[in-house]
Structure 1
């Protein structure tokens, strides 16, 4: 992207809408197939000053969108990596631009919350591992132990559930926070959207499935089938039934599956098609999923009753 194109984005937003400008510039950069060094420099010059003005939601989007791009501006990546953990987590886990020295500096500046995420990242750098072990933290030690059983050159993902056994105190704190969030006004669509976006961007698929199940009033197993392993119609319909905006839905999909719309045309098509989904029809589809769930539960109960009856007859005979 050339400098005049960045200027056009800035002019179109009047120079005052930091969220719109940052989102547009990040999206435009991600759509360039082979960005030149000057493109990265122009994005850095434009985006870094906007971070202080942008909302956490948009900074999360920026971190997720840039998390796997090897030619992203380094200064922008470092700035996002030192943001709050719910914003920086995807970068800390995935960004190929963050060197062991960068990660050590981030841990020094930000402390244990960032260290716990970095511990799940694959690295055999002895200095970084030494810094992580120096915390003597159970979650960090468990993450490092799990990683030691994997070939560092293997791309297989680390199981979140295996990496994060929780201490009783941490578990109690987490459950208390969940209770507070459930007691909050989840009927408010903005709150619900932010809640689901956070769960998706924190790179915890199992957590997202649980939260989606609660929001849809479905079983977790059904939510797991809906989520699937990539962009699919069922998940899109589920998000639409909850009233999520196209932007929030895109953030959820990005957090779960990476950059699912890698060019501007596919992003536009997604937004257009998503906005055409009728919410009432989407809710009717979710209701059918719930009916199917209940039917399966009833069939299972009848099977169990029949088995009990047959067992009783055999004992009598």
Structure 2
């Protein structure tokens, strides 16, 4: 299957060209026994620009075809999974292109309809199965749905107000589920970043130090990543809410799954139920990158201001030192 084949399909007729090209390209790809990386990239380059121009029936057809394809293009599969459940159900149930982190993110974005389809997957991770069961029985977790949060300060206040009323699951069972979730995300986190080549060393350092459970190690890594002093980094993780840490991770432009892994390692008690994961995802998406960068600049300015205030008395004392020496010199001259 080459680019010339696609061009021949495209020029057969102008009427419905995009739809026919979309279907034909996927059908030809699915007929390949073991497609190469180049062929996978070609299919993504061809179909993704056409995606918005094809009707729902074609998207449903492509989703069903790719659900049986062992080497389905991951980007196209993820795009299809953002469609309503009547389109993407075959992919949610069968596609191997969806990893555990993809499934968690889809549940967080689309809720129960997608979760029910995901629950039908064979060999589903037990931790994800537990999350879906909790969604199926919301009466077991009674939490008030928060209003959309426009900025970091508002989120901090709302989280602090809601914290006392948030119910907690039994300690040992909840911690076991979180530990399994962290290990699961640790295994697949590298493959799901928006840009896997950007800041991977920084993310790896933050991830490894967060998973040690030693707060000082993580605070040092965070200070290095943001170029702030240690006391400021320590203050970001001393709050009862993770909102300040959220701004720091957003400033580093981490993907939501990577940011979640770090936050859940530092604040494990903040995620006792699936709704808490959904709240985290909503907050992270609503927080703009530039707003987070402004927050970091403010922290740096405060650090510089403290440093200047701390050096002022020293400078004043230094200015007065010559006068003291002169006075002692005059006294010694008079005595002589």
- TM interval, shorter chain, is 0.3 to 0.5
Please give the TM-score of this superposition, normalised by the length of structure 2: 0.44
Please give the TM-score of this superposition, normalised by the length of structure 1: 0.46
Select the structure of larger CA radius of gyration.
2
